[in-house]
Structures are given as C-alpha cells and as structure tokens.
Copies of this chain bind each other. A is one copy, B any other.
Amino acid sequence: MSEIAWNRYGKAAVRLMKVDRSASSDVVTELTIDVRLEGDFEAVYEGDNSACIATDTMKNTVYGLAREAPIGSAEAFASRIADHFIRRPAVRQVRVSAIEHIWTRIGAHPHAFVRSGGEQWTAAVERTSASTIVRAGIGNLIALKTADSAFSGFPRDRFTTLPDTDDRLLATAMSAEWTYAPGFADYAVRERVKAALLEAFAAHRSQSVQHTLAAMGRAALDAAAGIVDITLTLPNRHHLLVDLKPFGLDNPNEVFVPTDAPYGVIEATIRR
C-alpha cells in the first residue's frame, strides 16, 4: 500500500511582456511567472480531473489579469495572481514567483529600450486563505573586491593546504531574498536594498565571506524598515593567483584565473 504524501503542481515559465501605452512614453514590464498550487488534489492522482485546474488555464489567467489592470510591480502582480487562485475550490496554498527582466529607456526615446544589467529582480508570494507572505529579491548580482578581503585563522587538519591570506580577491554572484512585513507594500524599496548590499560589500573589511554576508544583511535591514528578514546566498567565485615563477616573473596579486568550479557557497538568513 502507498499514499500520496505530498503534491504540488502548476505552470512554470509563463512569459509576459506588457507595454503600458497610456502616457507619451511607453513603459514596458517583462516578467517570467511561475504558479504553483497545493490543496485537495489527491483524486487527480487516481484519474479524476474534476478538481484539476488545467495549467493551461493558469497561463491564460496570467495574460488575462495582465490586461485587466496595470502590472504595478512584480510583487503586486504576483499578489493579484495568488488572490485569484486562492479563491478556487480545492486550493489551499498558492505560490506565485516572478522574475523581472529590467529594461531601460534608450536616451529620451519614448518607445525604445535596452536590457539593463545581468541581474534579475524576483518576487514571490505565498498565499493561503489566512495569510499572505510577500518576498522580493535580486539574483545574479556579480560583484568583486580587489582589496580588504582576508581569510585566516581557520582550523587546519591533514587535508588543509590553503594558506592564511590577508589579501585575496573576493568575487561573487550574489542572490538575496527578503521578506516584507505583513501589509507593507512599498516595493520600490528594492532599489534601496540593492544599493545597501553593494555599499556594504564594497566598504567592508572582510575576514570571510560569512563576515561580509552578515554586514550586507544588516545594511539591507537598516536601509528598509519594511523588511523583516533577508536571506543571502554568496557563491565564492574563486580567483586563483597564477604562479608565474616558472617563467621568471613575480605576481604581486595582479594576474588571476577566475574559476567556475568548484566554488564555495555561503548562505544565511539575517532576521531583524
């Protein structure tokens, strides 16, 4: 005998571009949206589809809701989608997540845009009939320090070969996700959060990635009162100093090999 111990389903990678033509200059919003439902769907697994909202309907709903009202922000639009689905029979929990691809106007042109940066904005809403949690974040924000980064005093065992250093390159492709206080909806604070993360990264005298992560998380909480916690994930993209001695050359911390694998990864949640 066996049972369905847990289940979830939905539509992933619903791609949406909305052009707001209501002013003299267009505004474009591009989102990739993911809708997931949990609820009383066990019968579907036995072949009874009477409760199974088609994932095709989820996709259509995203486009319909996009037309019916302004997007506003990724957080607000994800909330609208979650509100729609939580009212459907059998649904007990909705999770809507969105990635926002940011466009910047080309000069003063009212109808032309260029994709800015490689980083992504994210939003995620978890909705039950009783509660709504709204999170937002940044992904793939790539940053580098060429000074003020040390790593020493760590424990040594037979497998430890890394020397203590007080001057290494520190590079990361960070992601951050923070939780808004219930009812807080000034989602424009995300620019302030990003600025605080970068400023703290740049200014910190780092003893480790963990040390810098904590400084960044605190700076983000300080910058935006509406945030209750922030989770930071900092891959350590190692840059190896090249040994140039065989060529009769020194290498005073100048020439490095950026590497992809392996990489350290440091994650923590800082809570107010």
User: Which residues of A are at the interface with B, using a C-beta cutoff of 8 A?
Assistant: 1-21, 26, 28, 30, 32, 36, 41, 44-57, 59-61, 63-64, 66-68, 89, 103, 106-107, 109-118, 141-148, 151-155, 157-162, 169, 198-199, 201-203, 207-211, 213-214, 217-218, 221, 229, 231, 235-236, 239, 242, 244, 246-272
Question: A113-B144, A211-B46 in contact; A154/B52 too (CB < 8 A)?
Answer: yes
Q: Which residue of B lies closest to A199 (CB)?
A: B107
Q: Is the CB of A145 within 8 A of B111?
A: yes
Q: Sample 9 A-B pairs with CB under 8 A, ordered by A number.
A: A2-B221, A13-B260, A17-B239, A19-B254, A45-B214, A47-B207, A51-B155, A115-B144, A117-B117
How many copies of this protein are present in the complex? 4
Q: Is the CB of B210 within 8 A of A268?
A: no
B53, B113, B160, B247: the one contacting A158 at CB < 8 Å is: B247
Question: A26-B146, A51-B155, A169-B17 in contact; A161/B60 too (CB < 8 A)?
Answer: yes
CB distance from A114 to the nearest CB of B (A): 5
CB distance from A257 to the nearest CB of B (A): 6
Q: Is the CB of B13 within 8 A of A158?
A: no
Which chain B positions have C-beta within 8 A of A46?
Answer: 211, 214
Q: CA of A220 to CA of B57 in the docked complex: distance in angstroms?
A: 31
CB distance from A154 to the nearest CB of B (A): 4
Q: CA of A30 to CA of B256 in the docked complex: distance in angstroms?
A: 9
CB distance from A200 to the nearest CB of B (A): 10
Question: A2-B221, A162-B57 in contact; A143/B113 too (CB < 8 A)?
Answer: yes
Q: CA of A27 to CA of B244 in the docked complex: distance in angstroms?
A: 21
Question: A13-B261, A266-B9 in contact; A210/B19 too (CB < 8 A)?
Answer: no
CB distance from A106 to the nearest CB of B (A): 4
Which chain B positions have C-beta within 8 A of A20?
Answer: 254
Which chain B positions have C-beta within 8 A of A48?
Answer: 153, 207
Q: CA of A77 to CA of B163 in the docked complex: distance in angstroms?
A: 28
Which chain B positions have C-beta within 8 A of A157?
Answer: 57
Question: A117-B117, A221-B2, A269-B6 in contact; A143/B13 too (CB < 8 A)?
Answer: no
Question: A49-B154, A253-B19 in contact; A7/B162 too (CB < 8 A)?
Answer: no
Q: Is the CB of B154 within 8 A of A3?
A: no
